[in-house]
Structure 1
Amino acid sequence: MIASNLSDADICLDGRVAIVTGGTRGIGAAIARDLLAAGAEVVVCGRSQPDGLPRAGDRTARFLPCDVRKHEEVAGFVDAVGREFGRIDILVNNAGGSPAVDAATVSPRFHEAIVALNLTGPVHLSQAVTSWMRGGRDAGSIVNIASVSAIRPSPGTAVYGAAKAGLLGLTRSLAAEWGPDIRVNAIVVGLVETDGEVEAYGSEAARAAIAAALPARRMGRPEDIAKGVVFLCSPMARYISGATLEIHGGGEKPLFLDQVERLGGL
């Protein structure tokens, strides 16, 4: 028998304080729940008070309002969390997204808002937490939630894809600049089913066809992403920084393979 060096302490986040942006619904809420379950105190933020908050057992996330696109709100939000808990150990830059638009005709103001939400906001949040994370007993952990749109063409959401690609570059650069006090990693998120996502794919049949085309034969679930976040924030990942974890069920099959198969090839 081979002895294992793993222990409960390797996945325990007791005493840690975590911020999850956009943590009131969807993937963000799943991340908040799993961090709570691992023992962390969790603060989520959004532009307005949600109807409910993420829970795990008898523990509930705290909510503070913050528009991550506005640096002055970000500074006040992070300072309020740090003052209340006396520390900040984890930041998950999860807030993001974009509706589909025509890149040629949409307004410059729209593009600026998408960049602010998906790239500039994470920059400001990461800056704001550094003073709380440096000098602690354990390294702080920042996890940036990116997208497959960052690593393949993203027609209809071109600026979103560009902003997420920038987030991957930011991850590598901050990891190099802020180590060893702060570890910075990213997760590339694939196609994920959340509430209301059937409409996003046009129909249940279209969603099922997309799921069947993935190597995992299903689309992702919010908890799949949450498990990756907990791992990257845990002591098990203490030597992981500047890395990109792809959680996409094996990725999307190249388009040319569909054409080859349709024409009687492979």
Structure 2
Amino acid sequence: MDFGLAGRVAIVTGGTRGLGRAISTALAQQGCVVIACARSEPESLPEGVEFAALDVRDPDAVAEFVETVAARHGRLDIIVNNAGGSPPSDAATASPRFAEAITRLNLLAPYYLSRAAFPHLEKSPGAAIVNIASVSGIRPSPGTSIYGAAKAGLLSLTKSLAQEWGPKSIRVNAIIVGLAETETSADTYGSEATRAKVGQSLPLGRMATGDDVARAVLYLVSDASEYVSGAWLNVDGGGERPLFLDIVKGG
């Protein structure tokens, strides 16, 4: 499927691994110029994807990076704020430094990049920002409470920027990613057998893949969604089954 993105310039944060790598690959295959940024350079990159070392939590570094990209390519059309995450942490004992770091990565960094990109996006006829959020932002997130709060903030930011920047023809949307399979899934969900069981608990019978998320990104940055802004698109296979249903059934 041709999404009509050839020649557009896209930045994907955290675009060298996991969901971000799938997003970078999909955009490049559609003919975009893709700059994937991360703190360290990967051993390999998808074909057609450039790499830039960047700490997205540093607003000055982000601003300099955006200006370099825009100057080199003459335009900037697409921002995918994908970088994020958090290790497990008990809310009662997490340090203020930890809480600030998680908030900077998952909430402030997308704002820093979007803000820096704004002057260039308003010149683009197809400007689009996609924030990669999480189900942790719309339901309780025990064990990663700061992360969940930051992702909830990112969803709020998405709607606010869509309203502020809509008159500049910049569309801002978010994807709420459900339980997903990546190269680090074993750390989160355990063994392959356990991950299969988790997937089977979802209505569509499996966890999300990078390609599932990437295809949603392609839709949201293309002209196919030209009147979609401020939206939260769930890519979660139908959502997690409420635990009480199994308790009632078992009782």
TM (normalized to structure 1)?
0.92
**C-alpha distance in 2 between matches for 1:188 and 1:129:** 22
2:155 to 160, 168, 173: 168
Q: Does 1:227 align with 2:215?
A: yes
Q: Quote the residue 2:28 is aligned against.
A: 36
The runs of 5 or more residues in structure 1 that have no matched partner are 1-6
1:206 to 194, 207, 211: 194
User: Per-residue displacement from partner, 1:204-245 (whole Å, max 9, x unpaired)?
Assistant: 232122111100001110100000000000110111000010
Amino acid paired to 1:198: A
2:139 to 137, 145, 152: 152
Q: Does 1:21 align with 2:16?
A: no
Contact 1:65 1:77 in 2 (8 A): no
Q: Quote the residue 2:40 is aligned against.
A: 48
Once the two structures are TM-superposed, the CA of residue 140 in structure 1 deviates from its matched residue by: 0.7
2:115 to 127, 137, 141: 127
**C-alpha distance in 1 between matches for 2:15 and 2:84:** 11
**C-alpha distance in 2 between matches for 1:203 and 1:63:** 32
Contact 1:148 1:188 in 2 (8 A): yes
Q: Does 1:107 align with 2:99?
A: no
TM (normalized to structure 2)?
0.97
- Counterpart secondary structure, 1:115: helix
Report the aligned-residue RMSD. 1.1
Contact 2:203 2:239 in 1 (8 A): yes
Amino acid paired to 2:160: S
Spell out the pairing of 1:132-147 with structure 2 (5 A cutoff). 132-136=120-124, 138-147=125-134
2:228 to 231, 240, 243: 240
**C-alpha distance in 2 between matches for 1:238 and 1:196:** 34
Q: Alignment length, in residue pairs?
A: 250
Once the two structures are TM-superposed, the CA of residue 178 in structure 1 deviates from its matched residue by: 0.3
Amino acid paired to 1:179: G
User: Per-residue displacement from partner, 1:18-51 (whole Å, max 9, x unpaired)?
Assistant: 0000000010000000001111100010111111
Q: Quote the residue 1:4 is aligned against.
A: none
Contact 2:126 2:222 in 1 (8 A): no
Contact 1:16 1:39 in 2 (8 A): yes
- Counterpart secondary structure, 1:179: helix
Looking at CA atoms only, which structure, 1 or 2, has the larger radius of gyration? 1
**C-alpha distance in 1 between matches for 2:32 and 2:179:** 27
**C-alpha distance in 2 between matches for 1:129 and 1:135:** 10
- Counterpart secondary structure, 1:139: coil
Once the two structures are TM-superposed, the CA of residue 123 in structure 1 deviates from its matched residue by: 0.5
% identity of equivalent residues: 56
- Counterpart secondary structure, 1:257: helix
Contact 2:103 2:146 in 1 (8 A): yes
The runs of 5 or more residues in structure 2 that have no matched partner are none
Indicate how the Cα distance of structure 1 residues 139 and 196 shifts in structure 2: closer, same or farther if over 3 A, else same. closer
Once the two structures are TM-superposed, the CA of residue 139 in structure 1 deviates from its matched residue by: 3.4
Amino acid paired to 1:77: F
Higher deviation after alignment, 200-209 or 158-167:
200-209
Contact 1:154 1:161 in 2 (8 A): yes
